[in-house]
Amino acid sequence: MKYAAFLTGSQYLYGGEALEAVAADSVRIAEYLDKAACGARVKFKGVMKTSDEIVATVKQINSDDDCIGVIVWCHTFSPAKMWINGLKLLQKPLLHLHTQANRELPYDEIDMDFMNLNQAAHGDREFAYILTRMGIVRKSVVGYYEEEDTVKEINLWLDLARAYDYSSKLKICRFGDNMRDVAVTEGDKVEAHIRLGWQTDYYGIGDLKEEIAAVSGKESEALYSETLKRYELNTDNVAAVKEQIKYAIALRRFLDRAGYKAFTTNFQDLHGLRQLPGMAVQLLMADGYGFGAEGDWKIAALGAVMREMAKYRKGSTAFMEDYTYDLTHGRELVLGAHMLEVCPTMAATRPKIEVHPLGIGGKEPPARLVFDGICGDAVAVCMTDTGSGFRLICAEIELVKQPLPMPKLPVARVMWRIKPDFKSGVRAWLEAGGAHHTVVSTALTASDMEAFAALHGIEFVHIG
């Protein structure tokens, strides 16, 4: 399992006995946090007393693939000039934990030895100064380490650090290019690689067609019967469903072979495929692969990263598209969906497997999973390329029950209310240049996304 390194700042000024006490307290705190942590471990990596020691430790941390970030706490005063060289090298997210080994002051016992040993109030200010002076993005968590809210904040950061690590190695497979003439799904792939770590590779759809042709009848039957256990078959056109089953097997094999965690398709580029991949994409989404339709690689990558951040939390995180509105005065709602590809983790009802004609693309009627969406507070997030950099836009929304059934709508759908109200929320989204493709998440919050943007030096717009 991935871990965060716990470092304690100190110096030689206080003598050997004090340093032993610093180390013992640090081990105790790191072990407490390790037990309380979800999503990553916390491992104590030493008391830092000199610049050389900090540089050597940071080099180890940078080169350790399992280490997602660093937690630093200064038990005593730790003169911050000795942190400069190490901090200049640090390539991983930093959490500054401002805590103490003791909760209460020992009023009867307190003397100068206690004061010299327990001076985080003093030492952490010196450390924070150099972080601010050097412009280092970090999360500052303040409070006694056993407090529930302190642990909660650390856990949120562990999710962020894990997502940062995941993003820095993310590979996205693009089947075909972006949809013709569409602007917002474009973007600077080189800049995304430099800034976010996203490697975006192009493949012709013919490569996937070959993979589909190689799927055996036996493995198709196995996935078909497994799929029928999870979802309700609501069609006589079993052949169309089995076609999507083959796509799902081929897609997964193709992606896994080279370690792709996200992918895109484009309905304008389906040569040799009989259907637009619908249910196939939904089956992969359910297993955590990021997806973007119409060649939208930015949203595919963002979806995969957000799924990783939300991995150990309650809630759903999925690709979405603002499709159409209910503009009834006072209860304005967005209907979010896609042509086919809505993630079944968003389902409030048991998804039904259905086959219906598709008006665009000129292919055979594709199988898809159809369901009504879940309810709850959520965020809708997109990332656009403004021409001078990336902008992450995050709107707070509330997923609601659809007011009436939609018996003729042949796709999965989710409905939501925009915060603070329809007019202001939508106007802000439009003026920020927000996209129609988003990732909707009931597991993540605007502050998660703000921290993600800050770590990557990306502009952040918060609507709510």
Stretch touching Mn ion by CB under 5 A, among 95-103, 159-167, 258-266, 291-299:
291-299
Q: Find the Cα–Cα–Cα–Cα dihedral 349, 355, 358, 362, rounded to 10°.
A: 150
Q: Could you give the CA distance from residue 175 to residue 171 in angstroms, rounded to a whole number?
A: 13
Stretch touching Mn ion by CB under 5 A, among 11-19, 244-252, 288-296, 374-382:
288-296
CA atoms 244, 249, 250, 252: torsion sign:
positive
Q: What is the smallest separation between the CB atom of 185 and Mn ion, expressed in angstroms?
A: 8
Token pair 């934990």 is at which residue? 97
User: Toward Mn ion, which CB reaches closer, 40 or 414?
Assistant: 414
User: Toward Mn ion, which CB reaches closer, 202 or 323?
Assistant: 323
Per the rule left: phi > 0, alpha: psi between -120 and 50, beta: everything else, 362 is left
CB 401 within 8 A of CB 448: no
Q: Which positions from 314 through 353 interact with Mn ion, judged by CB under 5 A?
A: 321
User: Toward Mn ion, which CB reaches closer, 10 or 438?
Assistant: 438
CB 369 within 8 A of CB 282: yes
User: Toward Mn ion, which CB reaches closer, 87 or 346?
Assistant: 346
Q: Which positions from 169 through 208 interact with Mn ion, judged by CB under 5 A?
A: none
Q: What is the smallest separation between the CB atom of 402 and Mn ion, expressed in angstroms?
A: 20
Q: What is the smallest separation between the CB atom of 446 and Mn ion, expressed in angstroms?
A: 24
Single-letter amino acid code for the residue at 402? Q
User: Toward Mn ion, which CB reaches closer, 321 or 372?
Assistant: 321
CB 157 within 8 A of CB 449: no
Q: What is the smallest separation between the CB atom of 134 and Mn ion, expressed in angstroms?
A: 42
Q: Interface with Mn ion includes 370 (CB under 5 A)?
A: no
Number of residues counted as binding Mn ion (CB under 5 A) = 3
Beta-sheet strand order (sheet of 290-292): 199-203, 171-175, 262-264, 290-292
Q: What is the smallest separation between the CB atom of 340 and Mn ion, expressed in angstroms?
A: 10
User: Toward Mn ion, which CB reaches closer, 362 or 457?
Assistant: 362
Q: What is the smallest separation between the CB atom of 170 and Mn ion, expressed in angstroms?
A: 21
Q: Interface with Mn ion includes 435 (CB under 5 A)?
A: no
Q: What's the Cα-to-Cα distance from 417 to each of 259, 344, 444, rounded to whole Å? A: 37, 21, 17
User: Toward Mn ion, which CB reaches closer, 143 or 433?
Assistant: 433
Q: What's the Cα-to-Cα distance from 110 to each of 21, 114, 373, rounded to whole Å? A: 16, 6, 59
- Which listed residue (293, 334, 347, 382) binds Mn ion by CB under 5 A? 293
> Where does this chain bind Mn ion (CB under 5 A)?
293-294, 321
